[in-house]
Amino acid sequence: MHKITIAIDGYSSTGKSTVAKQLADWLEYVYIDTGAMYRAVTLYAMENGFISEEEFDREALIKKLSEIHLEFKKSSPTAKAEIFLNGKNVESEIRTLDVSEFVSPIATVSEVRKKLVEQQQRMGSEKGVVMDGRDIGTIVLPKAELKIFMNASAEQRAKRRYDELTERGDHVTFKEVLKNVQERDHIDTTRKDSPLRKAADAIEIDNSEMNLEDQFHIILQLAKDRI
């Protein structure tokens, strides 16, 4: 069967990765979570003391970029690929609110973006890929046959992220999570290098009032129309 490339972009916690993973499973495509890559670089910066209080040492991070190796591996053919930072599985560690608080500033660093975009373009060079992020339809895979841009109200997104974090036992308040979602939206849309934008040919989906199943079927139909 003819394969295509699918780019899913949008604001934080819009459920991009859930639908991207469902779609990749259904179509038997490879799923790539680019947010996990920015999160892993952030974790590296935290572990190496490049982040303190409200600031981070941009130059120190840039110097060490060549020492950061990221790969995705699956524990079984049907499992979600998990991210490895220099050989260590960090899939769970990168999802904390601490990492979420620093990831957007780190994602403004052009050297970081250049390194990750190159790796993402290599991983997405063959068709049969669903990739999600902020700049996939605009920068990473501009020729993708299907581009989706996802949005939902900040409150709705914060509620979903808050439920996810508390379910796994993290101690966070709704207010903190909402603040983080709004700050990331602001940094991601206003940064100079590849800001979050809807690509001209992307289809926008606001899922504030939509359940996961309906959303999945809408996007699957859009994909089928292009295959």
Q: Which residues are annotated as a binding site?
A: 10-18
Q: Quick check: 104 binds ligand C5P (CB under 6 A)?
A: yes
Nearer to ligand C5P, 115 or 134 (CB): 134
Nearer to ligand C5P, 5 or 12 (CB): 12
Cα distances from 83 to residues 6, 31, 91, 162, 172, in angstroms, run: 20, 12, 5, 22, 24
Q: Of the candidates 15, 35, 124, 137, which one interacts with ligand C5P according to CB under 6 A?
A: 35
Nearer to ligand C5P, 12 or 156 (CB): 12
Q: Quick check: 138 binds ligand C5P (CB under 6 A)?
A: no
Q: From 55-63, 74-82, 83-91, 129-137, give the range in contact with ligand C5P by CB under 6 A.
A: 129-137
Instruction: Kindly give the pairing relationship between strand 82-85 and strand 70-73.
Output: antiparallel
Which element (helix H / strand E) includes 5?
Answer: strand 5-10
Q: Quick check: 34 binds ligand C5P (CB under 6 A)?
A: yes
CB of 80 to ligand C5P, least distance (A): 13
Q: Of the candidates 6, 40, 188, 207, which one interacts with ligand C5P according to CB under 6 A?
A: 188
Q: What is the spatial distance between Cα 131 and Cα 45, in angstroms, rounded to a whole number? A: 24
Burial class (CB in 10 A: 0-12, 13-18, 19+), 141: buried
Q: Quick check: 14 binds ligand C5P (CB under 6 A)?
A: no
Return the exposure string of 79-89: e unless at least 16 CB atoms fall within 10 Å of the residue's CB, then b. Answer: eebbbbbeeee
Q: Of the candidates 15, 124, 133, 137, which one interacts with ligand C5P according to CB under 6 A?
A: 133
- DSSP state letters, 46-93: HHTT-EETTEE-HHHHHHHGGG--EEEE-SSTTSPPEEEETTEE-TTG
CB of 98 to ligand C5P, least distance (A): 13
Burial class (CB in 10 A: 0-12, 13-18, 19+), 159: middle
Nearer to ligand C5P, 38 or 50 (CB): 38
Query: Which of positions 41-100 make contact with ligand C5P (CB under 6 A)?
Result: none
Q: Which residues of this protein are in contact with ligand C5P, per CB under 6 A? A: 12, 34-35, 38-39, 103-104, 107, 133-135, 184, 188
